[in-house]
Amino acid sequence: MAVGQKALPVLHPVAGIRLGATAAGIRKKDRRDLVIIECAPGTLAAATFTKNRFCAAPVTVARQHLAKLTPRALLVNTGFANAGTGTPGLEDALASCEALAKHLHCNSEEILPFSTGVIGERLPLERLLAGLPACVANLSENGWGEAAHGIMTTDTLPKGCSRKIKIGSHAVTITGIAKGAGMIRPDMATMLAFVATDAVVSATALQDCVYLAVNQSFNRITVDGDTSTNDACVLLATGAAGNPVIDRTVGEAYTKFRDGLTEVFTELSQAIVRDAEGATKFITIEVMGGRSESDCLVVAYTIAHSPLVKTAFFASDPNWGRILAAIGRAPIEHLEVDKVAIYLNDLCVVRHGAPDNGYNEAKGLAEMRLAEIRIGVELGVGGCSAQIWTSDLSHDYVRINAEYRT
Amino acid sequence: MAVGQKALPVLHPVAGIRLGATAAGIRKKDRRDLVIIECAPGTLAAATFTKNRFCAAPVTVARQHLAKLTPRALLVNTGFANAGTGTPGLEDALASCEALAKHLHCNSEEILPFSTGVIGERLPLERLLAGLPACVANLSENGWGEAAHGIMTTDTLPKGCSRKIKIGSHAVTITGIAKGAGMIRPDMATMLAFVATDAVVSATALQDCVYLAVNQSFNRITVDGDTSTNDACVLLATGAAGNPVIDRTVGEAYTKFRDGLTEVFTELSQAIVRDAEGATKFITIEVMGGRSESDCLVVAYTIAHSPLVKTAFFASDPNWGRILAAIGRAPIEHLEVDKVAIYLNDLCVVRHGAPDNGYNEAKGLAEMRLAEIRIGVELGVGGCSAQIWTSDLSHDYVRINAEYRT
């Protein structure tokens, strides 16, 4: 069940980008599991990758290829993550790039590979390669929806977001897709997310925008605290919109583009949390009044990762003592317990470190029964704040992850 | 279900210690929920308490009382933790001490209060006070078993351990009880554990021994990573055994006593993990070859707190990729992925950062099906090691914690 997530919205085509998807039978039959995102010559790319030191073979290869050439295509498979596979895994990733390069008549270093799925098992390379011709044949500017389906794993719904903004007199499109739904706690990186724009943007401005937008979106979500070996977020800019180049020196255009991008990233990252494994609640945690943004984030993540807080939300139980206990064990220096306040949506539960006089169980229950809940924490020791999004811990989370490989 | 936990063993009386338990109806009816541990005049006490900054009112009071006088009695209630209760909570804790002091004809600062249960709700002080006479009337040197039952909350079995050791020609007894079973990640402190000995030990040696033993036992377990607001471990030494005083300068006797104590603490702390909420597996995580003990502990706890690792163990699924991913995201500096090895019991799963040639799924499954499993991790970058104990994440964990207050 995806909390408050709508059906896939209209995903506007981005001039210069074609997408194809096919069911190659990589791990399961009759399920789209292979996606190609092709981009026109001259497309710029900016990306962030997982900081997990056991990063997957495709992450290593994509990073290397990106450093050498601008990409002509992204190749994505689900089913197997090609992580923890050693040298053979690297060879598999390289071989898949070479095969697609032949189909597209380009250099294999112009292909960026991405994988997601089971860690520690080899890619079934033959099945992947056999699926390429059909996938190439499907390439279409209108392929965003198919591709959004094609990158799903335990996701229950495809995730996409699209915006049209004006840069001067030019209409610019930003369209992206993403997948979840477990092993989610992007660490200065993201889950698999592919976003494209036809805006003309300088390479440095593009990378800047990705970092800034990722930091406010994909780096602000957690499902289970488990940073994946395969996280990647790629932004492609085809330049087909013909607007004057957006650079960091061009104030208004840069801000407008960055804000539009952040909006798309945020909606995609929230979609991942809404459709988190077993999620029945979409929880926003906002920590205010901290001595630093970092302190606020530490408190927010300590709450978000507490299995006791997460099960209480699953049960719609206003057991705020668990939130208080999580704050109390958060490893930050500047915490004064008698200044702490806790809110459920707009309801004050704790003030000055003790139950608020106006609070009662019935009021707490009314807030906890909602599907979307904001936990507000006021630390009262500074002027910084931070906000993250997370989900609850349900029976289905355990079931999905206990049965994951069966 | 408690993994590999036997029925309560024989708990030898400790001369100078009497225990009483009663059902005072504090939160549920017909359930022992009030315990007194009385000690003879002159008994020394050493203790460690939670580092959660929202520490409970009884923790604050016990700490203050302990700093002033040696205790005459410990007063323990379950049902309500008296944490997050502000000034009224402190008053309740003090009032309970005063009431018991009247019954025992001692100073109220000679009483140490302890509470465990729901956070954020007031103690039903009247019911607690009404239960005191029956509890005092029950006081007996043979009351250890009753007391072990009396401090249980979500525990399915009472937890106790007892050892007799020889200090020179003197027989010395060490007996203790503990409770779990959730919100368990003691942080330089412990869950509720009460241990007594009749050994003659100097005050400094006693405190030393508690720190050393706690550090190898209660501080090496985690169920859910949630450090409680009420953790406390108290060691009482009545001195009734009449042995020559054990001090840090008396080498052999000190070592023998410390080792005996560590054994009792370790068995109690493991009992907490064996009976962790919903546990079906008892997991030992041993990390070796680290640059520091602290690095090894960080890696061990990152694995132990991963919901994905925990659900894989619940499913008996040898999905070692999740262990590898947890190691890869552990926040330590000295990690070289191509030196990492992973073992399930004696089975090598990963060597040099990639699947071991001798490994296959059937072998992995055979190890994962056992109820007691050791995860061995070799980092290969140093000579330090550390070991912790944890449990799996099951449907019952979610059920127990979703229904906790109902």
Whole-complex ipTM: 0.84
A313: Cβ–Cβ under 8 A, 6 or more apart, which residues?
A281, A283, A368, A373, A392, A393
- SS3 category, B190: coil
Q: State the angle between helix axes of B125-137 and B86-104 in degrees (0 to 180), rounded to the nearest 10.
A: 20
The answer to whether residue A176 scores a pLDDT higher than 80 is: yes
Global confidence as pTM: 0.86
User: A45 burial class (0-12, 13-18, 19+ CB within 10 angstroms)?
Assistant: buried
Structure tokens at A276: 């988190």
Cα nearest neighbour of B225 on chain A: A306
Strands (E), A179-227: 193-197, 221-222
Distance, CA of B165 to CA of B142 (rounded, Å): 19
Distance, CA of A355 to CA of A373 (rounded, Å): 19
Structure tokens at A188: 């200065």
Give the model confidence (pLDDT) of A348-390 as tens digits.
Answer: 999 999 999 999 999 999 999 999 999 999 999 999 999 999 9
| Residue of A264, A78, A253, A107 whose CA lies nearest to A179 | A78
Give backbone dihedrals phi and psi of B366, rounded to 5 degrees, phi first: -60, -40
User: Mean pLDDT over residues A186-205, rounded?
Assistant: 83
Nearest to B226 among A83, A326, A355 (CB): A326
Structure tokens at B319: 């999905």
- Which residues in chain A have their CB less than 8 angstroms from residue B325's CB? 52, 54, 83-84, 119, 183, 226-229
Tell if the CB–CB gap between B119 and A306 is shorter than 8 Å. Answer: no
Give the model confidence (pLDDT) of A137-149 as tens digits.
Answer: 999 999 999 999 9
Which alpha helices (DSSP H) does B315-394 contain, by range? 321-329, 361-368
| Residue of B260, B136, B114, B119 whose CA lies nearest to B193 | B114
| Residue of A348, A318, A179, A174 whose CA lies nearest to A256 | A174
Tally C-beta pairs within 8 A across A and B: 218
Distance from the Cα of A191 to chain B's closest Cα (Å) equals 14
Tell if the CB–CB gap between B328 and A183 is shorter than 8 Å. Answer: no
- Which residues in chain A have their CB less than 8 angstroms from residue B335's CB? 53
| Residue of B74, B90, B68, B82 whose CA lies nearest to B34 | B74
The answer to whether residue A85 scores a pLDDT higher than 80 is: yes
Tell if the CB–CB gap between A55 and B329 is shorter than 8 Å. Answer: no
Cα nearest neighbour of A350 on chain B: B84
Tens digits of pLDDT across chain B (406 residues): 688 887 899 999 999 999 999 999 999 999 999 999 999 999 999 999 988 889 899 999 999 999 999 999 999 999 999 999 999 999 999 999 999 999 999 999 999 999 999 898 999 999 999 999 999 999 999 999 999 999 998 888 999 999 999 998 999 999 999 998 778 887 655 678 889 999 999 999 999 899 888 888 888 888 888 888 888 888 999 999 999 899 877 688 899 999 999 999 999 989 999 999 899 999 999 999 999 999 999 999 999 999 999 999 999 999 999 999 999 999 999 999 999 999 999 999 999 999 999 999 999 999 999 999 999 999 999 999 999 999 999 999 999 988 877 6
pLDDT for the residue A2: 82
Cα nearest neighbour of A351 on chain B: B86
The answer to whether residue A55 scores a pLDDT higher than 60 is: yes
Distance from the Cα of B50 to chain A's closest Cα (Å) equals 9
Give the model confidence (pLDDT) of A244-298 as tens digits.
Answer: 899 877 678 899 999 999 999 999 989 999 999 899 999 999 999 999 999 999 9
Distance, CA of B215 to CA of B70 (rounded, Å): 24
Nearest to B329 among A81, A187, A322 (CB): A187
Structure tokens at A302: 């300590």
- SS3 category, B109: helix
Structure tokens at B375: 């995860």
Tell if the CB–CB gap between B325 and A52 is shorter than 8 Å. Answer: yes
pLDDT for the residue A25: 97
Give the model confidence (pLDDT) of A298-310 as tens digits.
Answer: 999 999 999 999 9
Distance from the Cα of B220 to chain A's closest Cα (Å) equals 17
Nearest to A317 among B89, B393, B405 (CB): B405
User: Is B190 designated active site?
Assistant: yes
- Cβ atoms of A376 and A286 closer than 8 Å: yes
Distance, CA of B360 to CA of A122 (rounded, Å): 13
Interface test with B, best of A311, A359, A381, A397 (most B CBs within 10 A): A311
Which of A116, A173, A190, A197 is catalytic? The answer is A190
Neighbours of A346 (CB within 10 A): 8
Longest dimension (CA), chain A: 71
Tell if the CB–CB gap between B84 and A401 is shorter than 8 Å. Answer: no
Distance from the Cα of A395 to chain B's closest Cα (Å) equals 6
Give the model confidence (pLDDT) of A110-156 as tens digits.
Answer: 999 999 998 989 999 999 999 999 999 999 999 999 999 999 988 88
Give just the sign of the alpha carbon dihedral A396, A399, A401, A406: negative
- Which residues in chain B have their CB less than 8 angstroms from residue A84's CB? 320-321, 324-325, 350, 353-355
> End-to-end CA distance of chain A, in Å?
21
Tell me the DSSP string of B284-311: EEEEEEESSHHHHHHHHHHHHH-HHHHH
Distance from the Cα of A339 to chain B's closest Cα (Å) equals 11
pLDDT for the residue A373: 97
- Cβ atoms of A274 and A282 closer than 8 Å: yes
pLDDT for the residue B250: 65
| Residue of B379, B28, B81, B384 whose CA lies nearest to B226 | B81
- Which residues in chain A have their CB less than 8 angstroms from residue B53's CB? 327-329, 335, 337
Interface test with A, best of B327, B329, B351, B392 (most A CBs within 10 A): B329
